[in-house]
Amino acid sequence: MLTSHVLVTDSLLLLTAIVAGALNSVAGGGSFLSFPALLFAGLPPIMANATNNTAMWVGTASSAGGYREEVAKSRRYLVAVAIVSAIGGVTGAIILLRTPSSLFTKLIPFLLLVATLLFIAGPLLPRYIKTPKLARHEDHRPSAQTMVGQLAVGVYGGYFGAGMGFVMLAMLVLEGFENIHDMNGIKTFLSAIINGVALIPFVIARAIAWPEAIVMSLGAMLGGYLGARVARRLPPEGVRRGIIVIAIVLTAYFFVKTFA
């Protein structure tokens, strides 16, 4: 009976991770499914968050490899930004591990709310930002404001992370980037760094549920591959709207569950 329950749980986690990985490759927002799924599977909140970080990092890291050319063009910009991203990611993970479980449980609805708002507002921000054009990626260095902002994004990413990609895209627009493929390459590369370095404190603290992490990592990779294959057949805006509905419903659910 117990074995049957484990198989059902793992199957549901695998399916959820496949969908989450596909969503991340099409429109982002996969953590709106994967993180609550781990909570519903019975993991403690902080362990669920660390496990989700691990699973989604595998998918992000595999995606980053597909942006080698875009990353190479912006290497001077990325050197400094990657360093502050790593510092922020480790810091956020340590703060998470030092957060009492009871407090983090109460923070979950608010974190989901912030992530939902970022997901909704992220694509809209560039429309209202006017910036100078970049002459060459190779000559560009990040501004002081970007360094501070990316440090904050790194801390948020190491602590929770959902929606951080949209903030990074907005900051890249502020820096003058215009090519969406270059921007996605930089965002994916930095996300992989933030989630990757966050693994170090999580592993040391034994905060990762490895059986669930492995199952969801495989699902995230498969979903990312399938998502990339079918992305052109799906209307991104329609996918976004569906994710927003799911995010709002889950956020409302956790507010009611936590405070009702």
Rounded to the nearest 10 degrees, the angle between the axes of helix 144-159 and helix 180-204 is: 50
**CA dihedral of residues 99, 100, 103, 108 (deg, nearest 10):** 60
pTM: 0.83
Contact 160, 115 (CB under 8 A): yes
- Domain ranges (residues) in the chain: 2-259
Strands (E) in 175-258, as ranges, are none
- Residue 23: per-residue pLDDT: 77
Q: What is the pLDDT along the chain (260 residues), one digit of tens a residue?
A: 556 667 888 899 999 999 888 777 766 778 888 999 999 999 999 999 999 999 988 878 877 777 778 778 888 888 889 999 999 999 999 999 999 999 999 999 998 898 888 778 766 665 655 555 554 455 567 888 889 989 999 999 999 877 787 778 778 877 777 777 777 788 888 988 999 999 999 999 999 999 999 999 999 888 877 776 665 576 767 777 887 888 899 899 999 989 97
- Residue 123: per-residue pLDDT: 66
Question: Which tokens is 195 given?
Answer: 């989630």
- Residue 82: per-residue pLDDT: 93
Q: Give 33-85 pLDDT, tens digit per residue.
A: 899 999 999 999 999 999 999 998 887 887 777 777 877 888 888 888 999 99
Contact 81, 146 (CB under 8 A): yes
- Residue 12: per-residue pLDDT: 92
Using CB atoms within 10 A of its CB, is residue 127 exposed (0-12), middle (13-18) or buried (19+)? exposed
- Residue 52: per-residue pLDDT: 93
Q: How far is 250 from 96, CA to CA, in rounded Å?
A: 21
Q: How far is 34 from 220, CA to CA, in rounded Å?
A: 9
